[in-house]
């Protein structure tokens, strides 16, 4: 480390009370911001669980659909029309809906039922136990072993229960990439069985899953589906639409913005004020340094280093605290909807960089204004 930076480091770190206050301000701001955004991104991720788990390239849906769990039924001709479109390799129907399961103790449990295309089983989950072809067996259902698994009394292969007064048998236990948002178990079966067991409105196709012949065909397919009066969205677009729904239509985005702004203001207030006090307390000594012969650019480097060092240390500790808390929460609640994303990390980093920039700007401005002559005047 260069001598002047080491000098700055020692001036900063040796003042333990101020350095601790500076760090606390940054850590608290980063922690708060990261935690809030992590929770939000976690919710968004869980909200898109079925899109992620099914994993197809294009989803065809009613234009009114905002999230994957709120599908609007489409008539069968949509499936036929899509299959006949230019650029479509294949297209299959998907059923997505809710049902009630009657448990052995007589209580009821809500479940999400995914009905996979009978022929292709496109979008099927990875099985942990059982064989996929058993899904065709009479009353066959596959249950997902996730955080909500126990709500179905930890079923095993062969376990039976009632689903909307129909007998259902567990023929497989699967795992998925992401659990759902609403805290209810997920069952997979065939499209036909789902449509048969679950009371439905007039139209039963929730989504048409499409595989294009090549990625270049996607825009053409989207155009053709639009001409039909429906929407074709890629997996990413559908996830974005789901995210937009939570951001813009539920007030979630505004809340996150407010919390981020609050954490920024808290961080800036504590750290900015403490750093400014640190500069003020050392103002005469900085003046002495100027009299002795420190160059302005060295003085600026020293203060920038102090602000950057504090900011980055605080950032690391804030991220660490956030990770630790999410980890602890997930030990207790496996479905805990919090997820640290690169976006959170970048937002936190930018916020801390702005705090450091403002704090150091104020400090530098003050220090550069000191006239070393004032040191002589006492």
Q: Which residues bind other proteins (CB under 8 A)?
A: 1-4, 6-7, 10-11, 14-15, 282, 284-285, 287-296, 298, 371-373, 375-378
- As to burial, measured by CB atoms within 10 angstroms (0-12 exposed, 13-18 middle, 19+ buried), residue 109 is middle
- Partnered with residue 97 across adjacent β-strands are 113
Nearer to other proteins, 187 or 302 (CB): 302
Report d(CA 328, CA 322) in Å as an integer. Answer: 10
Contact 56, 354 (CB under 8 A): no
Instruction: Provide, rounded to whole angstroms, the least separation between the CB of residue 18 and other proteins.
Output: 9
Distances in Å between the Cα of 87 and the Cα atoms of 27, 54, 217, 222, 310 are: 52, 21, 5, 10, 56
Nearer to other proteins, 5 or 184 (CB): 5
Label the pairing between strands 108-116 and 186-190.
parallel
Instruction: Provide, rounded to whole angstroms, the least separation between the CB of residue 298 and other proteins.
Output: 7
Report d(CA 79, CA 119) in Å as an integer. Answer: 14
Using DSSP, state whether 143 is helix, strand or coil.
Answer: strand
Nearer to other proteins, 292 or 331 (CB): 292
Using DSSP, state whether 98 is helix, strand or coil.
Answer: strand
Beta strands in the chain (DSSP E): 58-61, 88-102, 108-116, 126-130, 140-144, 160-163, 166-175, 186-190, 207-212, 231-234
Instruction: Provide, rounded to whole angstroms, the least separation between the CB of residue 49 and other proteins.
Output: 53
Instruction: Provide, rounded to whole angstroms, the least separation between the CB of residue 15 and other proteins.
Output: 5
Instruction: Provide, rounded to whole angstroms, the least separation between the CB of residue 4 and other proteins.
Output: 6
Instruction: Provide, rounded to whole angstroms, the least separation between the CB of residue 326 and other proteins.
Output: 37
Nearer to other proteins, 12 or 208 (CB): 12
Q: Which of 349, 278, 354 is nearest to 13 (CA)?
A: 278
Nearer to other proteins, 50 or 282 (CB): 282
DSSP string covering 37-88, please?
HHHHHHHHHHHTHHHHHH--SEEEE-TT--STTS---B-HHHHHHHHTSTTE
Nearer to other proteins, 7 or 354 (CB): 7
Instruction: Provide, rounded to whole angstroms, the least separation between the CB of residue 13 and other proteins.
Output: 8
Nearer to other proteins, 270 or 289 (CB): 289
Nearer to other proteins, 12 or 171 (CB): 12
Instruction: Provide, rounded to whole angstroms, the least separation between the CB of residue 17 and other proteins.
Output: 11
- As to burial, measured by CB atoms within 10 angstroms (0-12 exposed, 13-18 middle, 19+ buried), residue 233 is buried
Label the pairing between strands 207-212 and 58-61.
antiparallel
Contact 54, 123 (CB under 8 A): yes
Nearer to other proteins, 11 or 147 (CB): 11
Instruction: Provide, rounded to whole angstroms, the least separation between the CB of residue 252 and other proteins.
Output: 46
């Amino acid at each position: 480390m260069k001598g002047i930076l080491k000098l700055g480091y020692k001036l900063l770190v040796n003042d333990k009370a101020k350095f601790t206050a500076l760090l606390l301000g940054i850590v608290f701001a980063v922690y708060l911001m990261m935690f809030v955004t992590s929770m939000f991104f976690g919710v968004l991720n869980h909200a898109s669980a079925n899109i992620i788990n099914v994993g197809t390239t294009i989803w065809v849906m009613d234009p009114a659909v905002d999230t994957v769990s709120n599908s609007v039924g489409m008539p069968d001709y949509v499936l036929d029309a899509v299959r006949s479109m230019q650029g479509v390799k294949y297209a299959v129907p998907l059923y997505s809906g809710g049902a009630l399961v009657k448990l052995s103790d007589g209580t009821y449990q809500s479940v999400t039922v995914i009905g996979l295309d009978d022929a292709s089983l496109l979008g099927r989950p990875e099985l942990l136990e059982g064989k996929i072809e058993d899904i065709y067996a009479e009353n066959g259902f596959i249950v997902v072993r996730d955080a909500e698994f126990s709500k179905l009394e930890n079923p095993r292969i062969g376990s039976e229960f009632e689903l909307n007064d129909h007998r259902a048998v567990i023929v497989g236990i699967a795992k998925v990439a992401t659990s759902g948002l609403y805290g209810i178990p997920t069952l997979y079966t065939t499209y036909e069985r789902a449509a048969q067991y679950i009371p439905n409105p007039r139209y039963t196709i929730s989504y048409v899953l499409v595989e294009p012949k090549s990625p270049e065909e996607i825009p053409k397919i989207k155009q053709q589906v639009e001409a039909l009066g429906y929407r074709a969205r890629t997996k990413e677009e559908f996830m974005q639409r789901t995210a937009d729904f939570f951001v813009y239509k539920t007030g979630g985005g505004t809340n996150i913005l407010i919390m981020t702004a609050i954490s920024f203001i808290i961080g800036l207030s504590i750290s900015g004020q403490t750093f400014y006090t640190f500069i003020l307390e050392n103002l005469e000594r900085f003046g002495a340094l100027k009299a002795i012969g420190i160059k302005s650019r060295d003085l600026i480097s020293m203060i920038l280093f102090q602000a950057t060092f504090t900011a980055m240390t605080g950032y690391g500790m804030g991220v660490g605290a956030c990770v630790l808390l999410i980890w602890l929460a997930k030990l207790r609640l496996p479905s805990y909807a919090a997820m640290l994303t690169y976006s959170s990390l970048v937002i936190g980093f930018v916020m801390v960089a702005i705090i450091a920039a403002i704090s150091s700007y104020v400090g530098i401005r003050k220090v550069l204004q000191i006239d070393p002559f004032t040191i002589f005047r006492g």
